[in-house]
A and B are shown apart, each in its own frame.
Chain A
Amino acid sequence: MARRADRPRLLLPALLSTALGTGLVLSVLELHSVSAGLGRQVAEQLPASGVSNPVTAVLLNFRGYDTLLEVAVLLLALLGAWSLESSRRPPLARPAPPVQEMLTRLLAPLLVLVAGYLLWAGAGAPGGAFQAGSVLGAAGILVLLAGWRCRRLAAAGRPLAVLGPALFLLVGWALLLLQGSFLDYPPARAGLLILAIETAAMLSIGATLAALFVAVLGHGGQRP
């Protein structure tokens, strides 16, 4: 890996990295047990947030704006990857080896079910839109790799990817008009709004991640 002639070239980065690492260790040791954190404030506002999982409450309610930007970043990455890639269509459908075929038949419906559960349970237990969306994306990748022809699903990729950020933005604007401030959920409706946004976000994240995989995979090695 590091040839003898490279030693001088490696020395300076190693010294700088070690210096940075030492500084970071000292900072961490000093920061440890200094901050009180925001746990108390989150616990106080949790009953009014619409969900009982504090992480979901922070993600979708207290810091909902950050999550909106995050789904927008996902979409941006997809647009960027699409602008670089010529192939947006999944690789050619080809029969998969028997073990892969059987595994996909078993796993794909199960993954969809798990995604739905994670989305629903995310309100009160660990879970939520991102975990559910990534499991959905994994199911999509499995189906693609097994060579199943899902023309309608592939065609739905683009609208699904936009659905999450679009719905989030629409809810924010609607609340801006009705309540006076962006993404300010009325506490009575907060749970329902969060569920709606999370569902759209789950579908969007799943579609975007699967589409990103297709963009990186390219033509899938179909040599004529």
Chain B
Amino acid sequence: MNTALLYALAGVALFTLGLQALIVQPHLLRKILALNVMGSGAFLVLVALARDRPDAPADAVPQALVITGIVVAVSATAFALALMLRLRAATGRSTLPEDSGD
């Protein structure tokens, strides 16, 4: 197992943890945190899988894709936070309606 495979497996673990938290946690801010963790995991897998030989220069295309992904993730996070705050202002709760009933 080399460096890249280790990070790829860590990325899978992050993705799985994030998915579990996304489904289970009722609070919307935690769901947003979970989404970000999932995104980071996916980016790790993307770059780590392209890094199969440590001595060769790094492949630039997955890195560019991940930079794009990071910027899109922050845009989505900001919009999601604005949505959550609006929901809070409108309904008084920061959980989704189906989660509030539990």
State the A residues within 8 Å of B (CB): 9-10, 13-14, 16-18, 20-21, 24-25, 28-29, 31-33, 35, 37-39, 42-43, 54-55, 57-59, 62-63, 66-67, 70, 73-74, 76-78, 80-81, 84-85, 128, 130, 205, 209, 212-213, 215-216, 218
Contact = CB atoms under 8 A, between A and B. Distances in A.
Contacts of A17: 16-17, 19-20, 23
B33 interface: no
Nearest to B68: A70
Nearest to B20: A17
Interface residue SS majority, chain A: helix
Contact of A39 (B16, B24, B57, B67): B57
B16 A33 contact: no
Contacts of B62: 37
Interface size class of B (residues with CB under 8 A): 35 or more
A37 B50 contact: yes
A83 to B, nearest CB: 9
B59 A37 contact: yes
B16 A81 contact: no
A35 B85 contact: no
A59 B65 CA distance: 8
B50 A76 contact: no
A38 B59 contact: yes
A-B pairs with the 8 shortest C-beta distances? Answer: A21-B16, A77-B75, A54-B60, A58-B64, A212-B78, A81-B82, A37-B59, A17-B20
B81 interface: yes
Contacts of B52: 32-33, 35, 37
A35 B67 contact: no
A28 B45 CA distance: 8
B82 to A, nearest CB: 4
Contact of B85 (A76, A78, A212, A216): A216
Contact of B60 (A10, A28, A57, A77): A57
A73 B75 contact: yes
Nearest to A12: B23
Given A13-B24, A42-B61, A73-B71, 16 more contacts: A10-B24, A13-B20, A17-B17, A17-B23, A28-B8, A28-B49, A32-B52, A37-B59, A66-B68, A70-B71, A74-B75, A81-B82, A84-B86, A130-B71, A215-B82, A216-B78
B24 to A, nearest CB: 5
Nearest to A21: B16
Interface string B34-76: 0000000000010001101000111111111101101110111
B16 A70 contact: no
Given A21-B12, A33-B52, A37-B50, A85 B61 contact: no
A80 B81 CA distance: 11
Given A42-B61, A80-B82, A84-B83, A59 B67 contact: yes
A38 B86 CA distance: 44
Contacts of B19: 17, 20
